[in-house]
């Protein structure tokens, strides 16, 4: 972890250093447990934890909508998978109501007094990454609950308060600590420093509570009861809001700027989904994703679109795996997409899209031009393109570590479906656990989403970085909740998304390519080995490809890094015979349905 972070800080914006950058993987690897894939007829919930998926299914069985199920699922995730998402974080939700796709933005915002120097140390240089993360400074105004409340007002069928029942019951009665949570608690170096978190997650000797031991969180139950009764006000105003602000502002080493006004004034945003056409094996699809401030949909669209202008589609799998030539084309397309991401992507309320339209990055002519840059020999590091006649004045953002998330996919029986990716950013977020009552165990963790902003506000030539910190701004995300439709009939074909910082772009793109191009089912596509590039080395999931394939990439001039990649992809496909869901064998996800 330290090496990559030091590298980022030391390298600033140099393209030479960028070529060396390989990320730490978002969250610890917890092995590979084969998953069967799950069939159902009427409705289904795919989530990163069985208790969470079950809570969603409970709502669907009670007549709830996909949105109702998502809220119940999210509340249980906040309890059982606190390392990835929760009340103190943000989320991006893509919803299909049978006719329209709508994007609900619950991304965190920077405090109204934050500025571009937020993550600069006294010497004017970017502060060490984990000094920034483990702090009050990194905490953005949480947005997940306010956004879910908005979506529920529009598409909820069950009473809001009922959606909290499973999580409240589990928080009061306790849940068994999973192997993955235990592993992350064991390896985390910072969570123990927070006294509330230390008392809740760890034993007095500092060791994490055992796998299978029952963990009760009465403080979270109390906060959930407040939100169930009062809506988002229960979190964003009053006693809980005060506890959040106190926690952020009283951090002993690195306090933050969040105020009660920031919380009270938070507004989720409804955006137009970002949709584009895609053809695979002579079948036409429409892929819809989340627009900026997420970079996910645009990067995936660019990678798939650039690949479509190469010979990738003619290259067969070799023993069920992508060949070296295909991986070369994919990783080159990734370099080009990540160069554009670094240059252009940020909160659309604060930056102008290139050529005045984000879709310029997906224009067929532009993608063909970008594909034309791919040669037999690796470019190693790509530069951003210029989709329109006017050159942008932004400087590219250096690749920074970016971490966890959790993905939920749901299809209900009324033709609604959703893909929602949710996050507290780093594993266990900022490691700041909020409690309103010192006599109650537990609480909820605050995000460190502000470290998704560029620490350096300007590039080497003094031009501003698009994704620099500004007051009230949403940090750039990689989250890529995705819905796929058949273009001609308009029928929904798939809901998919993944966890994992910038690599989730590749985890999702791989699953899309596997399903749409290689015609795999959701489970087989998720099972495929992971790969990608963030515009540096070619990153390959360790132990999953033959040596000859890796040599094939190296012989084309790429630096190849093998590493574990704990993707957390969940997907549900809609087939002529019903629903079929897949969950990532690298995590604890499942699909539950009827």
In this structure, are residues 393 and 466 in contact, taking their beta carbons and an 8 Å threshold?
A: no
Q: Which of 73, 381, 392, 405 is catalytic?
A: 405
536 φ/ψ angles, rounded to the nearest 5 degrees: -140, -130
By beta-carbon proximity to ligand GLY, the closer residue of 126 and 156 is 126
In this structure, are residues 590 and 52 in contact, taking their beta carbons and an 8 Å threshold?
A: no
68 lies in the binding site for ligand GLY (CB under 6 A): no
105 lies in the binding site for ligand GLY (CB under 6 A): no
| CA separation, residue 20 to residues 4, 537, 560 (Å) | 9, 6, 10
Pinpoint the alpha helices (H) of 345-409. Answer: 364-371
Determine the interface stretch with ligand GLY among 172-180, 379-387, 471-479, 573-581 (rule: CB under 6 A): 471-479
Q: Which residues contact 357 (CB under 8 A, 6 or more apart)?
A: none
Among 303, 361, 479, 516, binds ligand GLY (CB under 6 A): 479
By beta-carbon proximity to ligand GLY, the closer residue of 49 and 295 is 295
Residues in the chain: 594
108 lies in the binding site for ligand GLY (CB under 6 A): no
Determine the interface stretch with ligand GLY among 34-42, 233-241, 338-346, 473-481 (rule: CB under 6 A): 473-481
By beta-carbon proximity to ligand GLY, the closer residue of 89 and 234 is 89
> What is the nearest approach in angstroms of ligand GLY to the Cβ of residue 304?
19
Pinpoint the alpha helices (H) of 112-217. Answer: 129-133, 144-155, 165-173, 179-187, 195-201
88 lies in the binding site for ligand GLY (CB under 6 A): no
β-strands 406-411, 44-47: how paired? antiparallel
Reference 527, options 511, 551, 516, 539; nearest CA is 511
Among 54, 65, 184, 477, binds ligand GLY (CB under 6 A): 477
Residue 532 CA to residue 567 CA, distance in Å, equals: 12
> What is the nearest approach in angstroms of ligand GLY to the Cβ of residue 377?
31
430 lies in the binding site for ligand GLY (CB under 6 A): no
64 lies in the binding site for ligand GLY (CB under 6 A): no
27 lies in the binding site for ligand GLY (CB under 6 A): no
| CA separation, residue 308 to residues 27, 373, 381, 386, 485 (Å) | 31, 14, 21, 20, 18
By beta-carbon proximity to ligand GLY, the closer residue of 332 and 452 is 452
499 lies in the binding site for ligand GLY (CB under 6 A): no
508 lies in the binding site for ligand GLY (CB under 6 A): no
In this structure, are residues 385 and 340 in contact, taking their beta carbons and an 8 Å threshold?
A: yes
293 lies in the binding site for ligand GLY (CB under 6 A): no
Number of residues that bind ligand GLY (CB under 6 A): 10
Among 310, 423, 530, 535, binds ligand GLY (CB under 6 A): 423
- Whether 508 is catalytic: no
Residue 83: burial class (beta carbons within 10 Å; 0-12, 13-18, 19+): buried
Q: Which of the residues 388 through 417 are near ligand GLY (CB under 6 A)?
A: 402, 405
Among 501, 568, 589, 593, binds ligand GLY (CB under 6 A): 501
Q: How is residue 289 written in tokens?
A: 């994703």
Neighbours of 378 (CB within 10 A): 23
> What is the nearest approach in angstroms of ligand GLY to the Cβ of residue 397?
13
Residue 407's DSSP bridge partners are: 421
By beta-carbon proximity to ligand GLY, the closer residue of 102 and 108 is 108
By beta-carbon proximity to ligand GLY, the closer residue of 285 and 453 is 453
Question: Would you state the torsion angle of the CA atoms of residues 38, 42, 47, 52, taken in this order, to the nearest 10 degrees?
Answer: -120
> What is the nearest approach in angstroms of ligand GLY to the Cβ of residue 503?
10
Pinpoint the alpha helices (H) of 517-591. Answer: 522-527, 547-555
Among 262, 340, 412, 452, binds ligand GLY (CB under 6 A): 452
Q: How is residue 458 written in tokens?
A: 């300007």
> What is the nearest approach in angstroms of ligand GLY to the Cβ of residue 499?
9
8-state DSSP, 156: -
331 lies in the binding site for ligand GLY (CB under 6 A): no
Among 478, 511, 538, 569, binds ligand GLY (CB under 6 A): 478
Q: Which residues contact 30 (CB under 8 A, 6 or more apart)?
A: 179, 180, 183, 566, 586, 587, 588
Determine the interface stretch with ligand GLY among 11-19, 179-187, 253-261, 476-484 (rule: CB under 6 A): 476-484
Determine the interface stretch with ligand GLY among 120-128, 190-198, 474-482, 566-574 (rule: CB under 6 A): 474-482
In this structure, are residues 7 and 17 in contact, taking their beta carbons and an 8 Å threshold?
A: yes
> What is the nearest approach in angstroms of ligand GLY to the Cβ of residue 549?
29
Q: How is residue 324 written in tokens?
A: 């070296």
β-strands 482-486, 444-445: how paired? unpaired
> What is the nearest approach in angstroms of ligand GLY to the Cβ of residue 133?
11
By beta-carbon proximity to ligand GLY, the closer residue of 21 and 285 is 21
306 lies in the binding site for ligand GLY (CB under 6 A): no
> What is the nearest approach in angstroms of ligand GLY to the Cβ of residue 404?
7
Q: Which residues contact 178 (CB under 8 A, 6 or more apart)?
A: 49, 80, 211, 588
425 lies in the binding site for ligand GLY (CB under 6 A): yes
Residue 562 CA to residue 226 CA, distance in Å, equals: 46
By beta-carbon proximity to ligand GLY, the closer residue of 49 and 498 is 498
Residue nearest to ligand GLY (CB): 477
Residue 330: burial class (beta carbons within 10 Å; 0-12, 13-18, 19+): buried
> What is the nearest approach in angstroms of ligand GLY to the Cβ of residue 233?
25
In this structure, are residues 116 and 105 in contact, taking their beta carbons and an 8 Å threshold?
A: no
Which residues form the interface with ligand GLY (CB under 6 A)?
402, 405, 423, 425, 449, 452, 477-479, 501
Residues forming the active site: 405
């Amino acid at each position: 972890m330290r090496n990559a972070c030091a590298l980022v800080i030391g390298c600033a914006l140099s393209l030479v250093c960028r070529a060396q950058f390989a990320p730490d993987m978002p969250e610890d690897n917890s092995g590979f447990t084969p998953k069967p894939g799950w069939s159902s007829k009427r409705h289904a919930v795919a989530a990163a934890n069985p208790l969470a998926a079950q809570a969603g299914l409970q709502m669907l069985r009670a007549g709830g909508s996909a949105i109702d199920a998502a809220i119940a699922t999210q509340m249980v995730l906040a309890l059982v998978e606190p390392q990835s998402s929760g009340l103190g974080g943000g989320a991006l939700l893509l919803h299909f109501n049978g006719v329209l796709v709508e994007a609900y933005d619950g991304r965190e915002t920077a405090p109204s007094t934050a500025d571009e120097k937020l993550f600069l140390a006294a010497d004017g240089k970017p502060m060490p990454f984990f000094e920034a993360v483990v702090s009050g400074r990194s905490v953005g105004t949480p947005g997940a609950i306010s956004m879910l409340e908005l979506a529920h007002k529009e598409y909820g069928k069950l009473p809001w308060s009922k959606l909290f029942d499973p999580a409240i019951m589990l928080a009061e009665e306790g849940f068994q600590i999973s192997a993955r949570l235990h592993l992350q608690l064991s390896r985390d170096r910072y969570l123990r420093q927070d006294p509330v978190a230390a008392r809740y997650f760890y034993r007095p000797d500092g060791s994490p509570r055992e796998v299978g031991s029952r963990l009760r969180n009465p403080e979270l139950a109390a906060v959930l009861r407040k939100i169930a009764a009062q809506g988002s006000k229960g979190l964003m105003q009053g006693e809980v809001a005060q506890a959040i602000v106190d926690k952020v502002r009283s951090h002993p080493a690195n306090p933050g700027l969040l105020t009660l006004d920031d919380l009270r004034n938070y507004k989720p945003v409804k955006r137009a989904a970002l949709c584009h056409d895609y053809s695979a094996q002579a079948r036409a699809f429409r892929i819809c994703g989340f627009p900026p401030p997420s970079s996910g949909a645009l990067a995936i669209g660019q990678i798939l679109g650039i690949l479509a202008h190469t010979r990738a589609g003619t290259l067969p799998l070799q023993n069920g795996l992508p060949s070296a030539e295909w991986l070369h084309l994919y990783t080159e397309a990734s370099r080009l997409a990540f160069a554009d991401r670094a240059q252009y992507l940020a909160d659309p309320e604060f930056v102008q899209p290139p050529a005045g339209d984000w879709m310029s990055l997906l224009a067929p002519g532009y993608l063909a031009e970008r594909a034309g840059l791919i040669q037999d020999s690796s470019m190693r590091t790509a530069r951003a393109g210029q989709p329109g006649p006017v050159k942008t004045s932004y400087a590219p953002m250096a690749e920074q570590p970016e971490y966890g998330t959790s993905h939920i996919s749901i299809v209900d029986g009324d033709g609604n479906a959703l893909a929602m990716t949710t996050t507290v950013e780093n594993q266990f977020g900022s490691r700041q656990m909020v409690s309103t009552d010192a006599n109650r165990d537990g609480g909820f963790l605050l995000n460190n989403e502000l470290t998704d902003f560029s620490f350096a506000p300007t590039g080497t030539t003094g031009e501003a970085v698009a994704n620099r910190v500004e007051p009230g701004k949403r940090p750039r995300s990689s989250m890529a909740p995705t819905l796929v439709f058949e273009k001609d009939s308009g029928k929904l074909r798939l809901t998919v998304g993944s966890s994992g910082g910038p690599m989730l772009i590749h985890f999702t793109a791989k699953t899309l390519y596997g399903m749409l191009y290689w015609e795999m089912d959701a489970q087989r596509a998720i099972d495929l080995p992971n790969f990608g590039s963030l515009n540096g080395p070619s990153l390959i999931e360790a132990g999953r490809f033959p040596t000859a394939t890796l040599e094939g990439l190296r012989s084309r001039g790429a630096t190849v890094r093998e590493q574990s990649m704990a993707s957390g992809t969940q997907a549900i496909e809609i087939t002529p015979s019903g629903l079929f869901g897949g969950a990532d064998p690298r995590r604890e996800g499942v699909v539950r349905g009827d």
